[in-house]
Amino acid sequence: MFLLRVIVFLILVSIILILGFPLFLIYDLSNGGNFFGVCDDIATCIIPITEGPKLLVFLIVSFFLLVLLLRLIMVFINKYQKVDTIL
């Protein structure tokens, strides 16, 4: 049971990191960064036009997969404890 709660915690941390990743990219660029090592010089950097949508799709799919996994684990925990909750 403790291991399941640790897994739930790790899933929640992963969800927060996925949601915050675009903010980290914007923060890095606004402070004169190099897009976390992708570009040496942001003015002359060539990034394919499909990189943004691919990143967006990857983040959305991974977010929903983690939410699904979290939901399944919480249902299992509730059935294991035999307690009716709102989940």
Q: Render pLDDT for 17-73 as a digit per residue (tens, 0 to 9).
A: 999 988 888 888 788 777 666 677 777 777 788 888 888 899 999 999 999 999 999
What number of other Cβ atoms are within 10 A of residue 40's Cβ?
9
Which amino acid appears at position 25 of this protein? L
Which amino acid appears at position 26 of this protein? I
What number of other Cβ atoms are within 10 A of residue 86's Cβ?
4
Q: What is the reported pLDDT for 86?
A: 64
The CA distance from 58 to 12, in Å, is 17
Flag whether pLDDT at 85 surpasses 70.
Answer: no
Residue carrying structure tokens 């709660």: 5
